[in-house]
């Protein structure tokens, strides 16, 4: 992702030129969002992020302090849930993900995590099944009533409410 791409996406979403020196809220917030996204998704310095916004009134672009202020302002707004343009932010980030293919890699990562959870679950089921089969074999060979009661309680099979309460109370 480049600052050029981020700038184009922000300008498209806000329908304005963010390099224009204008203190209207719409311009300022769009510029701050460009700063924030550029800082978050690129390795470009604050100086270069600001300098990329050259205009007739600001031929040198904006300085690093302006960029830092904008980034901090957006972060604070997002953390305080006072961000004025959540839909625009989401649209820009979604477009960035589609443009860079991150959406595909994120989905692949989720699938890997789901597969890992599924495998852990299946191992747990296999373990519990094996344990239950061993315990059932003990019952078949004449285990005591105490062992049968313990197994029933462990697997909640045929356990009365009183027995569950006793188990919860540590009796």
Q: What pLDDT shows up at residue 155?
A: 67
Q: Where are the alpha helices (DSSP H) in 80-101?
A: 86-100
CA distance from start to end of the chain = 62
Q: What pLDDT shows up at residue 11?
A: 92
Q: What does the pLDDT average to over 2-30? A: 89
Helix, strand, or coil (residue 82): coil
Q: What pLDDT shows up at residue 161?
A: 62
Per the model's pLDDT, the better-predicted residue between 5 and 113 turns out to be 5
pTM score, two decimals? 0.56
Q: How far apart are CA 38 and CA 53, in angstroms?
A: 12
Which phi-psi region, left, alpha or beta, contains residue 26 (left: φ > 0; alpha: ψ -120 to 50)? alpha
Decide: 37 and 10 in contact? Cβ < 8 Å.
yes
Whether pLDDT at 97 is above 90: no
Cβ partners under 8 Å of residue 34, min gap 6: 3, 6, 7, 10, 18, 49, 53, 70
pLDDT tens, position by position, 136-156 = 776 666 656 666 667 666 766
Tokens of 101: 């293919």
> Long-range contacts made by residues 71-80, C-beta under 8 angstroms, separation at least 24?
71/32, 71/35, 71/36, 71/39, 71/46, 73/32, 74/32, 74/33, 74/35, 74/36, 75/36
pLDDT tens, position by position, 22-43 = 889 889 989 999 999 898 888 8
Per the model's pLDDT, the better-predicted residue between 27 and 164 turns out to be 27
Tokens of 146: 């105490």
Band (109; pLDDT cuts 50, 70, 90) = low
pLDDT mean across residues, the chain: 78
Of 70, 68, 72, 58, the C-alpha closest to 17 is 58
Band (104; pLDDT cuts 50, 70, 90) = very low
pLDDT tens, position by position, 75-96 = 887 766 666 777 788 888 888 8
Q: What pLDDT shows up at residue 111?
A: 62
């Amino acid at each position: 992702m480049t600052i050029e791409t981020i700038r184009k996406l922000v300008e498209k979403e806000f329908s304005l030129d963010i390099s224009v020196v204008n203190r209207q809220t719409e311009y300022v917030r769009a510029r701050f969002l460009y700063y924030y996204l550029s800082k978050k998704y690129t390795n470009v310095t604050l100086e270069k992020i600001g300098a990329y916004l050259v205009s007739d009134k600001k031929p040198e672009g904006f300085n690093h302090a302006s960029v830092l202020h904008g980034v901090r302002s957006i972060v604070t707004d997002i953390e305080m849930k006072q961000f004025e343009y959540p839909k625009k932010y989401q649209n820009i980030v979604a477009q960035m993900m589609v443009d860079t293919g991150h959406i595909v890699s994120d989905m692949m990562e989720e699938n890997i995590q789901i597969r890992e959870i599924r495998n852990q679950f299946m191992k747990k089921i296999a373990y519990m099944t094996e344990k239950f089969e061993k315990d059932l074999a003990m019952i078949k060979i004449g285990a005591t009533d105490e062992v049968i009661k313990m197994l029933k309680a462990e697997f909640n099979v045929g356990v009365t409410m009183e027995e569950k309460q006793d188990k919860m109370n540590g009796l």
